[in-house]
Structure 1
């Protein structure tokens, strides 16, 4: 029995080093995988918001006015967007909700106007007014800003950050209010505003 124990050896330093390198590679892959998942969610938000834009333009092509451009037909979205998109537009697969669920976050897409231009707003609430966005939610907004404007500054281009408490109508998917532009790092950012039909 003593002879068998003499021949047993432990791991060499090289073997331990190889194991540590493999563990490091696995941890790095997991961390990179999490970044890839988060980036995919950012792109999904951007693509879904753009689908609402495509629906608005498709509605304009079919009907001659934007969804929610009620009387008078002045080119501004100011009425019931959801009914227009779901029923009047006669789309094959219209959206049944204005919410986008991405992991633990839920965002809401609204159409309306800023007084002189049509907008799409993205918020984190379905309530009467837009709530303040958290840091992780702002990362989604910055990614969308970059996808449209090429940079995430929030106060220039077609995508803007706003601290204005926009009024939301969950029954009609309508947003109203005059958004004041801000940067993404400003405290109390409440919504992303996308001027989809004309530059502000």
Structure 2
């Protein structure tokens, strides 16, 4: 048991050059910590943001949209947490707004604005936003 390990681990980081990706099947997802609003409003809720990709040099957060197959994974997570895959309500929402500006780090991003919730829609949804500490 102590020597157990994944032969193909989902976490792709390596010592000295950590990344925040998890691979499921042939798909890679980026996990980031954030808040659901501007940095000046410290009373906003904490969230975990899952993106398809991001600009590591700063500027654009979650620039790409998810494909139909990738949306299935997001809907499964939404169902596991909220009991139903409804991206417009609950603790898990679909961010369907424009790409967000942010200060990107290895694990944390501060979005310039809030999130725009909506249904899980291929080629429209840019991020899954999970309100892990309290509901929106």
TM-score using structure 2 length: 0.70
Aligned CA-pair RMSD: 2.3
In the alignment, which of 118, 121, 128 is matched to residue 182 of structure 1? 118
Q: Is 2:33–2:107's contact at 8 Å kept on the other side of the alignment? A: no
The aligned counterpart of 2:65 is 132
In the alignment, which of 113, 120, 123 is matched to residue 51 of structure 2? 123
Q: Greater strand share, 1 or 2?
A: 2
Distance 2:92 2:83 in 1: 10
2:82 matched to 1:160?
no
Unaligned stretches of 5+ in structure 1?
Answer: 1-44, 49-95
Distance 1:167 1:141 in 2: 22
The structure-2 alpha-carbon separation of the partners of 1:103 and 1:170, relative to structure 1 and needing over 3 Å to count, comes to farther
Which aligned pairs between 1:95-106 and structure 2 lie closer than 5 A? Answer: 96-106=18-28
- 1:186 shift after superposition: 6.8
Unaligned stretches of 5+ in structure 2?
Answer: 1-9, 12-17, 38-43
Distance 2:36 2:101 in 1: 11
- 1:105 shift after superposition: 0.9
Q: Greater helix share, 1 or 2?
A: 1
TM-score using structure 1 length: 0.49
2:120 matched to 1:198?
no
Which structure would you say has the larger Rg? 1
Which aligned pairs between 1:1-200 and structure 2 lie closer than 5 A? Answer: 96-115=18-37, 116-127=44-55, 128-130=60-62, 131-164=64-97, 165-167=99-101, 169-176=104-111, 177-185=113-121, 188-200=124-136
Q: Is 1:126–1:170's contact at 8 Å kept on the other side of the alignment? A: no
Count residues with an aligned counterpart. 108
Secondary structure at 1:179 match in 2: coil
